[in-house]
Amino acid sequence: MRNECNIIRDILPLYADKMVSADTASFVEEHLIGCAECRAELEKLKVADAIESAVSDTENDDEKRLKAFAGKINRKRHIVISAFAAVLLLAVLLGGSLISSAKFGTVNFFAAANGFVQVTAADREYVEIQRSPRVVVARPDYELFTEYMKNRGFSEVEQFGSQHIFSDGERTERVIYYQNTYFSKWIWD
């Protein structure tokens, strides 16, 4: 009987996991009816499996909770990063508009930058960057300004510092002329 117990104890873990054939299972069951030691060994295996399963379930629950917590943190991090990016973009656009307004007389940052690039890099004589009130960015050349107004049919009537008053007989236009090393800007009042 002792030799049979050794064989059964070798097979017992597979039997407990239901990994044996039907013939082997009936052989093990017949032996367990008559052998208290092997029955006790099977009970130990079942208890160990139950404990291992409970620990595994607890670990899985803890792991699930940890993953859920990490997911919440990642979502919050993404929200914070997105909000920061939106605020940064808004600050850049607002700053660009303020600088554009101060330097070019228009709050449209993109139009001002486009006009500046076309005059300085693309070598255009002038670019109208805003229609109402009219704002023109041009090369830093006063003669270009007066020629532009003459071509429109206007002649200069008066000048007060940077403000120039032009008339074509019917209409009068007031234009403020600014110039620096890189460009000039003409702003109509």
- Tens digit of pLDDT for each residue in 134-165? 888 888 889 999 999 999 999 999 999 899 99
Same domain? For 120 and 46 the reply is no
Asked whether residue 91 is domain-assigned, the answer is no
pTM score of the predicted model = 0.47
Give 53's pLDDT tier (boundaries 50, 70, 90).
confident
Above 60 in pLDDT, residue 1?
no
Residue 171, in any domain of the structure:
yes
Q: Which of 11, 40, 63 is the endpoint of a domain?
A: 63
Residue 113 and residue 170 in one domain: yes
184 located within any domain? yes
Look at residue 25 and tell me if it is in a domain. Answer: yes
Domain annotation covers residue 16: yes
Q: Give the whole-number percent of the chain exceeding pLDDT 90.
A: 23
Q: 113 and 182: one domain? A: yes
Q: How confident is the model at residue 104 (pLDDT cuts 50, 70, 90)?
A: low
| 58 & 123 share domain | no
Give pLDDT, residue 19. Answer: 86
Note whether 111 and 59 are same-domain residues: no
**Three-state secondary structure string covering the chain:** CHHHHHHHHHHHHHHHCCCCCHHHHHHHHHHHHHCHHHHHHHHHHHHHHHHHHHHHHHHHHHHHHHHHHHHHHHHHHHHHHHHHHHHHHHHHHHHHHHHHHHHHCCCCHHHHHHHHHHHHCCCCCEEEEEECCEEEEECCCHHHHHHHHHHCCCEEEEEECCEEEEECCCCEEEEEEEECCCCEEEEEC
Do 54 and 126 have their domain in common? no
Task: Report how many domains make up the chain.
Answer: 2
Q: Using an 8 Å Cβ cutoff, are 154 and 168 in contact?
A: yes
> In this predicted model, what pLDDT tens digit does every residue of 18-49 receive, in sequence order?
888 998 888 888 888 888 888 888 888 888 77
Q: Which of 11, 38, 63 is the last residue of a domain?
A: 63
Is residue 10 included in any domain, yes or no? yes
pLDDT tens, residue by residue, 83-96: 999 999 999 888 88
Domain containing residue 58: 2-63
157 within domain boundaries = yes
Q: Which of 57-61, 126-130, 136-140 is the least confident region? A: 57-61
Is residue 120 scored above 70 in pLDDT?
A: no
Domain shared by 52 and 121, yes or no: no
Would you say residue 36 lies in a domain? yes
For residues 1 and 104, the model is more confident at: 104
Averaged confidence pLDDT in the chain: 84
Among residues of the chain, what percentage have pLDDT more than 70?
A: 88
